[in-house]
Amino acid sequence: MQAGTRLNQPVSSVAVQKSSLFASRKFWGQVWLVVLQILMTLLLITFLVPTFWMISSSLKASTEVFTHPIQWLPNDPQWKNYAKAFALLPLATFIKNTLIIVVFAVLGTVISSAMVAYSFARIRWPGRNFWFGLLLATMMLPDVVTLVPRFILFKNLKWLDTFLPLIVPYWGGIGAIYVFLMRQFFLGIPMELEDAAEIDGASRLRVLVQILLPLSKPVIATVAVFALLQHYNDYMNPLIYIRSIEKWPMALGLQAYNSSYVQNWEIVFAASTVMLIPIVLVFLVAQRYFVQGIAMTGFGGR
């Protein structure tokens, strides 16, 4: 009886130590989460303060924009600043042009990237890995290197001062990063689904459209958001290829506000706010798929 009691004492002591260690780790884990939340909140405030000041300044009078100390809220909101922004320059035309370019360029980016990624991920053909590596290598090639050859090509095609140089190339799968993201996601989808569809007589294109793409909404949303940001904020390409002001997108139009109305910052901020709103709305709508796509494209393989 005494021997059994002695054996139970070390066991209970070890259990107490493990329980204490677990409680200590849980406590410090909670402390770390609190510290992390505070740091992330401060970082979020750091990013949001300039944006809030821009939106607030778009509703201020000219004398209130750069007052010291900073006046965070306008005394009398000047909603007419937005009306002036639309009246001084053809802002509605800039928005329409941007919408045309972004919709067709993003659509081409998603479709072409999906087709190229499907070939690299699901079809076995000679030299597949070599060509995929070569495609990824183009990511290290600066755009300025191909700027002159592209300009000469589009000039010979008589595409200058049109939307074609800003749309057509993206229907050719030139976005290596988008192809990479989609390929990684496709690799994580079980091959048995595709084999079953092929046994039923489905073609490669039908497999891609009816099986893989419906399962790939997160990565499609991710690619679409990235491509939208790329084309929406693109300043260099429209500056090179488009000459007529009636064909300018928002990026060029905003620079025109900044150059022509530098003394009226409230007008510049109003135009900037108009350009900011669509991006915020798109991200809010696609946020769930966007985060999920980023998290899942690094996994998978066969």
Q: How far apart are CA 2 and CA 249, in angstroms?
A: 89
What's the confidence (pLDDT) of residue 299? 44
Q: How confident is the model at residue 107 (pLDDT cuts 50, 70, 90)?
A: very high
Amino acid at 224: A
What's the confidence (pLDDT) of residue 301? 40
pLDDT tens, position by position, 57-94 = 888 888 888 887 888 888 888 888 899 889 888 989 99
CA atoms within 13 A on the CB side of 90: 11
pLDDT tens, position by position, 150-201 = 999 999 999 999 999 999 999 987 888 899 989 988 888 888 888 888 888 8
Range 212-237 average pLDDT: 89
Question: Average pLDDT over the chain, rounded to whole?
Answer: 84
Q: How far apart are CA 186 and CA 219, in angstroms?
A: 9
Amino acid at 230: Q
Q: How confident is the model at residue 300 (pLDDT cuts 50, 70, 90)?
A: very low
CA atoms within 13 A on the CB side of 274: 28
pLDDT tens, position by position, 14-41 = 666 667 766 777 777 788 888 889 998 8
What's the confidence (pLDDT) of residue 297? 53
Amino acid at 101: I
233 secondary structure, DSSP code: S
Q: How far apart are CA 81 and CA 261, in angstroms?
A: 12
Q: How confident is the model at residue 51 (pLDDT cuts 50, 70, 90)?
A: confident
Higher pLDDT, 8 or 193: 193
299 neighbors 292 (Cβ within 8 angstroms): no
- Helical H runs in 144-264? 147-156, 164-167, 176-187, 191-199, 204-207, 213-215, 217-232, 236-241, 250-260
Question: CA 101 → CA 97, 125, 164, distances in Å?
Answer: 6, 35, 9
Question: CA 251 → CA 168, 179, 192, 214, 294, distances in Å?
Answer: 19, 26, 46, 33, 27
Range 47-66 average pLDDT: 86
Q: How far apart are CA 207 and CA 237, in angstroms?
A: 36
The answer on pLDDT for 100 being more than 80 is yes
Q: How confident is the model at residue 7 (pLDDT cuts 50, 70, 90)?
A: very low
List, as one string, the DSSP characters of 73-110: S-SS--THHHHHHHHHS-HHHHHHHHHHHHHHHHHHHH
Q: How far apart are CA 262 and CA 256, in angstroms?
A: 10
